[in-house]
Amino acid sequence: MSAVPALPSRGQQNLALWGSTFAFTVCFAVWTIFSIIGIQIKKDLGLNDTQFGLLVATPILTGSLIRLFLGVWAEQYGGRIVFSLVMLAGASATWMLTYAQTYPQFLLAALAVGIAGGSFAVGVAYVSKWFPQEKQGTALGIFGAGNIGSAVTKLLAPMVMVAYGWHGVARFWAIGLAITAVLFFLFTKDDPGLARRKAEGIKPVPFAEQMKPLRNLQVWRFALYYFFVFGAFVALALWLPRYLTGAYGLDVRTAGLIAACYSIPASLFRIVGGWLSDRIGARRVMYWTFGVSALCTFLLSYPSTTYVVDGINGPVEFRVAMGLLPFVVLVFALGFFMSLGKAAVYKHIPVYYPNNVGAVGGVVGMIGGLGGFILPITFGAMNDALGIWTSCFMLLFVLVSTALVWMHFAIRRMDVSRHPQITSDTDLPEIMPQAGR
């Protein structure tokens, strides 16, 4: 029998972490490519807003739905090989996009491009294997900051499109992703769990066995958390330009700049969320996230209102409305705490489900990604139905309040009386079945 591999060195850990983070950043840039090239495609094909919205959202949908399967495959066959194959598949789909000519062909190509978004579940399974429990929050927070890839596309793709057209953007992004795949495979190593299984001749855990934790209600509770902290974050990043131009009369350029400034720091703050989850416990970070988010969405949901009061000398009219500066401050605060929560949710998973990170992380990521697809559509429908700009924040207030109440009562049901030393959800992973019900 071969010798069991030694514990990973600090250099190997850093290579796995930063290599995965860079790869995920490139994947995320490809995943959101239609946010820029879709504008030109809309003009070329004469699409209406509904058709354009579906085109932009289609990669988000596929990238979310496949996360469960990719996460499981990463557990079975190793994150290194699965991550590399996902990137090569995404690069091929992005290159083939340039041959599309009709709207159905573009939708089909967008479905394939969405493969790049599934890389998140693979990266979570891969990165978590390299670090001990007390450092997994920070590591996964750094990896998750690869969300900044969307800002990379928003900043660089317009310049490339002006010079080479949207075909040039697709080809450059495809080549970049393919090169990243090759470099990632050549310079990273198999994760310690896979290396140990190979050395001991242990077969991969069957797919059905990987799916067993999904029976726990706790997994779906985590998924609801992520639906808000990630799904609503993505939805707001997409919706803010429309909201600012409509509610405050800003021009598209200014609204887009504010939205970009919201996206970049909110992605980077995920690192802080991971670090805090390691230091003070993921549960406490989640309480902060949901508590402050509930307050922010409540204030943001109050519509501009004109009151008329019967005064002594006749009617007295006054208006209650949120100015642009307070709105921006509250939205940035909301984005900051969402980013902390994104890291805190994934801090729980490798602790509660160390042998099923791919499956659990995959389904949580899938539900979160679906939030980024469903919520913008719902925002538009509520605008049409209610005719109130702040209706999107009303929905988010209901969503975060539901998550906060469910989390609180689930925690209260844990039998902490026998374990007074418990300070966070991640202190006693062996109590996970009770914690999730």
- pLDDT at residue 182 greater than cutoff 90: yes
User: Is the Cβ–Cβ distance between 144 and 22 less than 8 Å?
Assistant: no
Superfamily of domain 9-204: MFS general substrate transporter like domains (1.20.1250.20)
Give CA–CA dist 339/230, Å, rounded: 8
Structure confidence at residue 216 (pLDDT): 80
CB-count burial class (<10 Å; 0-12, 13-18, 19+) for 431: middle
Structure confidence at residue 201 (pLDDT): 65
Question: Could you report the per-residue pLDDT of 124-158, keeping only the tens digit for each?
Answer: 889 988 888 778 878 888 898 888 887 788 778 88
Predicted TM-score of the model (pTM): 0.74
Structure confidence at residue 6 (pLDDT): 57
- pLDDT at residue 329 greater than cutoff 70: yes
Give CA–CA dist 362/213, Å, rounded: 12
Question: Could you report the per-residue pLDDT of 262-316, keeping only the tens digit for each?
Answer: 777 777 788 888 888 888 888 899 999 999 999 999 999 988 887 888 878 878 8
pLDDT, mean of residues 75-98: 92
Structure confidence at residue 426 (pLDDT): 44
Least confident of 7-11, 147-151, 167-171, 206-210: 206-210
- pLDDT at residue 19 greater than cutoff 50: yes
- pLDDT at residue 111 greater than cutoff 90: yes
Structure confidence at residue 210 (pLDDT): 67
**Start and end residues for every CATH 1.20.1250.20 domain found in the chain:** 9-204, 209-437
User: What is the token pair recorded at 388?
Assistant: 């109130």
pLDDT, mean of residues 254-265: 75
Q: What percent of the chain has pLDDT over 70?
A: 88
pLDDT, mean of residues 178-200: 85
Mean pLDDT (the chain) is 83
- Specify the residue for token string 């791919």: 358
Within 8 A by CB and 6+ apart from 176, the residues are 26, 29
Any idea which fold 209-437 has?
Growth Hormone; Chain: A; (1.20.1250)
Structure confidence at residue 299 (pLDDT): 94
pLDDT, mean of residues 107-117: 93
